[in-house]
């Protein structure tokens, strides 16, 4: 009878597993999870954080030309409408874009950004044909007529693209002179945007 009692009192495997589970502290589990997360974060930083950007560049020169515009006072049908006058700044820039990555860069947008007292004013750069049209409309411009930048240009690995852009801002020469900042933004497909701030002095045509 004593042997039977001893066999009955022996715990089964399920009971032993339950006892072992109860012995695992939540603090230990949390510590293990924290270590794993830290390892993942370090790996991601090493893989992505130290990887240089694919797109680099510089602003070679900037020219700003004030222009006072007065509309003709006629609509498309020839009927008279109130004439409108406004001031604008034509901002030209020669830029160099370089691809230091391993794959091609696909440009998908270029902007000019001027910071005034009331905030940031943004203008999309003119298209290739629009850039050339500016020189046809204003033949007396004292700005070099460089090769226009294609808004959808492709830059191959190792290639440096040297081109020119123009942006138009509705502001007076006084507002332009009082600007706090000017920079140019370049968007790329599947890549972070590139922001370039002119280092040379801006040449203003008075």
pLDDT recorded at residue 81: 73
Q: What is the largest CA-CA distance in the chain?
A: 119
In the chain, the percentage of residues whose pLDDT exceeds 90 is 61
pLDDT at 79 over 90: no
Q: Is 160 found in the same domain as 98? A: yes
Q: Is 68 found in the same domain as 35? A: no
Q: Which residues make Cβ contacts (< 8 Å) with residue 162, sequence separation at least 6? A: 60, 94, 95, 96, 147
pLDDT recorded at residue 26: 65
Average pLDDT over residues 134-145: 93
More confident residue, 29 or 179: 179
What value, to the nearest 5°, has the Cα angle with vertex 193 and ends 89 and 132? 40
Q: Is 76 found in the same domain as 9? A: no
What's the pLDDT tens digit per position in 143-180? 999 999 998 999 999 999 999 999 999 999 999 999 99
Q: Which residues make Cβ contacts (< 8 Å) with residue 139, sequence separation at least 6? A: none
Q: Is 75 found in the same domain as 20? A: no
Backbone angles phi, psi at 15, to 5 degrees: -65, -40
pLDDT recorded at residue 16: 47
Q: Is 169 found in the same domain as 108? A: yes
What's the pLDDT tens digit per position in 113-135? 999 999 999 999 999 999 999 99
| pLDDT band, very low/low/confident/very high, at 5 (cuts 50, 70, 90) | very low
Q: Which domain holds residue 6?
A: 2-49
Choose one of 49, 67, 83: the last residue of a domain.
49
Contact in structure between 67 and 89 (CB atoms under 8 Å): yes
pLDDT at 4 over 50: no
- Average pLDDT of the residues of the chain: 83
Q: Is 116 found in the same domain as 38? A: no
Q: Is 65 found in the same domain as 31? A: no
Q: Is 121 found in the same domain as 38? A: no
Could you tell me which residues are beta bridge partners of residue 168? Answer: 90
pLDDT at 24 over 70: no
Q: Is 142 found in the same domain as 77? A: yes
User: pTM of the predicted model, to two decimals?
Assistant: 0.70
Which CATH number fits the domain that encloses residue 131? 2.60.40
Number of domains in the chain: 2
Task: Report d(CA 38, CA 35) in Å as an integer.
Answer: 5
Average pLDDT over residues 64-80: 76
Please report which helix (H) or strand (E) contains residue 86, including its range. Answer: strand 85-99
What's the pLDDT tens digit per position in 151-160? 899 999 999 9
**Which two structure tokens, joined as six digits, stand for 50?**
């130290």
Q: Is 176 found in the same domain as 143? A: yes
Dihedral sign computed on CA atoms, order 8, 14, 18, 19: positive
Q: Is 135 found in the same domain as 86? A: yes
* One-character DSSP codes across 130-183: HHHHHHHH-TT--S---PBPPTT-EE-TT-EEEEEEEEEE---HHHHHT-SEEE
Helix and strand totals (H; E) in the chain: 5, 9
pLDDT at 1 over 90: no
CA 130 remoteness from chain centre: 23
Q: Is 45 found in the same domain as 61? A: no
């Amino acid at each position: 009878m004593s042997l039977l009692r001893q066999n009955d009192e022996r715990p089964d495997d399920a009971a032993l597993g339950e006892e072992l589970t109860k012995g695992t502290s939540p603090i230990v589990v949390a510590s293990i999870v924290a270590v794993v997360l830290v390892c993942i974060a370090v790996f991601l930083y090493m893989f992505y954080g130290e990887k240089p950007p694919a797109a680099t560049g510089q602003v070679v020169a900037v020219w700003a030309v004030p222009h006072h515009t007065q509309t003709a006072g006629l609509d498309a049908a020839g009927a008279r409408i109130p004439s409108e006058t406004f001031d604008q700044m034509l901002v030209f820039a020669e830029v160099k874009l370089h691809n230091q990555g391993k794959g091609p860069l696909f440009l998908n947008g270029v902007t000019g950004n001027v910071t005034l007292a009331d905030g940031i004013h943004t203008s999309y750069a003119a298209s290739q044909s629009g850039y050339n049209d500016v020189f046809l409309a204003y033949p007396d411009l004292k700005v070099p007529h460089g090769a226009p930048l294609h808004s959808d240009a492709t830059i191959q690995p190792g290639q440096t693209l040297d081109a020119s852009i123009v942006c138009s801002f509705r502001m007076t020469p006084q507002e332009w002179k009082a600007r706090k900042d000017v920079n140019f933004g370049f968007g790329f497909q599947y890549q972070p945007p590139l922001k370039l701030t002119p280092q040379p002095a801006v040449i203003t045509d008075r």
